[in-house]
Structure 1
Amino acid sequence: MRNLLQESPGSPFSIPISQNPNSSLKESGLLGSGLHNWLFECHGFLHNVTLILASLAFVLYLAFQAKKSVTKLSHGRSYIMIAYYGCLWLVSLLNLSWCCFQAWECTAGKELTWNILSLFTTSGMLFLEVSLIAFLLQGNYASGLEALTRTFAVSALIVGLDILLKAIYMFGLGIPLFIDSNEQQHHMKWSLWVVHRLVLTAVYGFILFMYHSKWRERLPARPAFYKYIVIMFTLNALALFACGLTVNGTDFGFWLYSTTIVCYHTFYLPLLYVTFLADFFQEDDLHLENVYYSEMKDAGFFDADWE
């Protein structure tokens, strides 16, 4: 690996990037060469195709369900659901773009564009994560404008601070946060990812602890939310472990970190949809309260009514 200093024309910002000297991403006008580079270069065929197909499939699913979803939203009049559905669409399109343009990471002249696209994509996904956590801690499905404002204000503040910190790293310190390489020169970069994953792991771990404590009643009594927290805690714990190994120069840590990134961009948005929105957009026209009633009935809450 070698470090290059890439400057954007007309921009005071410069970002040192890591580029594979064996990469075949050269200037070429041939369609076949461009397609080959798009699919095979940088991270490899399996990595690129997995991300592209998974993100495209989810966007197509949203598009196929769009008419029914909009009808349901217009009848439900839930501000939280309407706003969240709109955010999900926006972030899904950003994630699809991020997955399709993986080759930019290894293309000379595209490093700054790739970092900016990655910053917006990851920040959008983080916004969905934080807002769902903020909503989860409210204890139930809130539909009022006040609940929406409170949830999104907290999320925007946290994500805004995260964007500011990452922008300082990229444009102020010249650290290529989203140009992944197994070099040991950017210890500050991997240290930031350690802190980032540590915070997320701690938050999900705290909520998981709440589910097994006397404060469980403050959380939604829905198995889907508990499964979501377990999955996100596990993923962030693995990413934290991988970042720690990478900081210490372990190749396996870098491979594990890359795997967690693929899993996150492939499965997180569908997981979010299944956890938070799927019941709202259920096939029949039952109200969401009926879902809660069925779950409580299955748990035996109403057995005394039959005695």
Structure 2
Amino acid sequence: MQSLESITDSPFHQNPNNSSSSSSSSNGLYGWLFECHGFWHNLALIIPSLLFVVFLGFQAKKNSQKLSHGRSYIMISYYGFLWLVSLLNLAWSCVQAWECTPGKETAWNVLSLFTTSGMLFLEVSLLAFLLQGNHASGMQALTRTFAISGLIVGLDLLLKAIYLFGFGVPLFINDSEHPHQVKWGLWVIHRLVLTAIYGSILFMYHSKWRERLPARPAFYKYVAIMFIFNAIALFACALTGNGASFGFWLYIAAIICYHALYLPLLYITFLAEFFLEEDLHLENVYYSEMRDAGFFDADWE
């Protein structure tokens, strides 16, 4: 007969209080930062996303005044949607542990689905707006831009939701040990389409159709950056689908760069120039008013 000490020392006999305390500690701050993807992965996502939201907060009052003076429906709507997607992206970056937490798969998939769809909407709407020309404005341009973007992103969201919740394809749960062939095939198609779109725009810049594109150097640089990024992501998805571990590492690095840097790139490319133009416009207005009032007459005497 076994002694009482041997029974209590058995690994199968655990104190429920100890197990609950250990599980609570693993689900605390340590688990939030260090488990699942690791400390540096989480930090690389959280810090840039947080800094960009803080930057938007500091610029909110000044930018809101400029938007109200400019009365551009497109810029107002785009700026508001940028705020929404930035907050979603910050929340997505902060809950990376959900991807590896049992019982959180559905919440993680839903949050990932809406976050990526929101970023894709900004991406598509920027292309749809800028391809209309340099001076596209007004309610008609807003309706046309958002209608095209909403249709494309809505179809993309529907297909992803069907594969996620209908067929059980883990689109947003990455596992290098058990690669899902259907998942990586879908991501290859997704990146291939985006790479082809950006590549065709770059081709137009060096062809006789260049005059149809807006003459904005920042837009050309943005398209070149997005073409290179999507080409790298396409290469990574293809390698991962074939079982290459380097491809999985490259794909994770691409996802980190996208969620950490895309929204600031979008702001610099599209909105920062608009707010700078508004500053110059207001300075010209003030100068004209002061000149009409005779403030500079003494300079000519």
Please confirm whether the aligned pair reaches a TM-score higher than 0.5, indicating the same fold.
Answer: yes
Shift of 1:268: 0.2
Aligned twin of 2:224: 230
TM-score by length of 2: 0.84
Aligned twin of 1:275: 269
Aligned twin of 1:242: 236
Unaligned runs of 5+ in 1: 1-25, 291-307
Shift of 1:283: 8.6
Aligned twin of 2:155: 161
Q: Which moved more, 1:138-147 or 1:252-261?
A: 138-147
Aligned twin of 2:171: 177
1:89-100 matched pairs, under 5 angstroms: 89-100=83-94
Aligned twin of 1:257: 251
CA contact under 8 A between 2:66 and 2:278: conserved in structure 1?
no
- Asked whether 1:75 is paired with 2:72, we answer no
CA contact under 8 A between 1:28 and 1:34: conserved in structure 2?
no
Residues 27 and 194 of structure 1, relative CA distance in 2, 3 Å threshold: farther
Aligned twin of 1:295: none
Shift of 1:282: 2.2
TM-score by length of 1: 0.83
Q: For the pair shown, which has the larger CA radius of gyration, 1 or 2?
A: 2
Unaligned runs of 5+ in 2: 1-19, 285-301
Distance 2:218 2:263 in 1: 15
Shift of 1:199: 0.2
Q: Which amino acid aligns with 1:99?
A: S
How big is each residue's C-alpha offset from its partner over 1:186-212, in whole Å with a ceiling of 9 and x where there is no partner?
A: 111100000000000000000111111
CA contact under 8 A between 2:70 and 2:278: conserved in structure 1?
no
Shift of 1:285: 2.0
Percent of paired sites with the same residue = 73
Distance 2:246 2:117 in 1: 26
- Asked whether 1:111 is paired with 2:105, we answer yes
1:1-307 matched pairs, under 5 angstroms: 30=24, 34-282=28-276, 285-287=279-281
Residues 145 and 50 of structure 1, relative CA distance in 2, 3 Å threshold: same
Residues 33 and 116 of structure 1, relative CA distance in 2, 3 Å threshold: closer
Q: Report which of the two has the higher share of helix.
A: 2
Shift of 1:135: 1.1
Q: Which amino acid aligns with 2:46?
A: I
Distance 2:26 2:175 in 1: 27
Greater than 3 Å deviation, 4+ residue runs: 26-33
Distance 2:171 2:278 in 1: 45
Residues 182 and 276 of structure 1, relative CA distance in 2, 3 Å threshold: same
How big is each residue's C-alpha offset from its partner over 1:52-83, in whole Å with a ceiling of 9 and x where there is no partner?
A: 01000000000000000000000001111001
